[in-house]
Amino acid sequence: MSNVIILYEFHGDSEDLKKRLDALVDEVVEMSSARPIIHLTVPREYGLMVADVWSDEQALRDFEQNPRLREILGAHGMPEPKIGIYPVHRLGWPVSSQPMYR
């Protein structure tokens, strides 16, 4: 198993998209039996980027292929995202060489 990251690019007004995403996130959590390791939402010049790191590709595929996901996004007026899926080479900092907090 190796980690994968999925990047969702939602095009539109960043502030509007943030409000829509905030309104739907609880529904997405309820529909999913798995959770990403890391979930980030980043305002961008084109709209909003959501980045999720998953423990493995199958967990991501199970989440992404759940028909409820698109239903929830559509019900909240989210535009169809541009999606990219990539393998993760390294996740986190090496803790053996540096203390976690200074």
Q: Which two tokens stand for residue 2?
A: 């190796």
Task: Produce one character per residue of 45-58: b if its CB has 16 or more CB atoms within 10 Å, e if not.
Answer: eebbbbbbbbbebe
1-44 residue pLDDT tens: 699 999 999 999 999 999 999 999 999 999 998 999 999 999 99
pLDDT at 40 (0 to 100): 97
Looking at the structure, give the CATH architecture of the domain made up of residues 4-87.
2-Layer Sandwich (3.30)
The number of residues in the chain equals: 102
Domain ranges of the chain: 4-87
Distance of CA 28 to the CA centre of its chain: 11
Cβ neighbours for 17, distance < 8 A, ≥ 6 positions apart: 10, 47, 48, 78
40-98 residue pLDDT tens: 999 999 999 999 999 999 999 999 999 999 999 999 999 999 999 999 999 987 767 66
pLDDT at 92 (0 to 100): 86
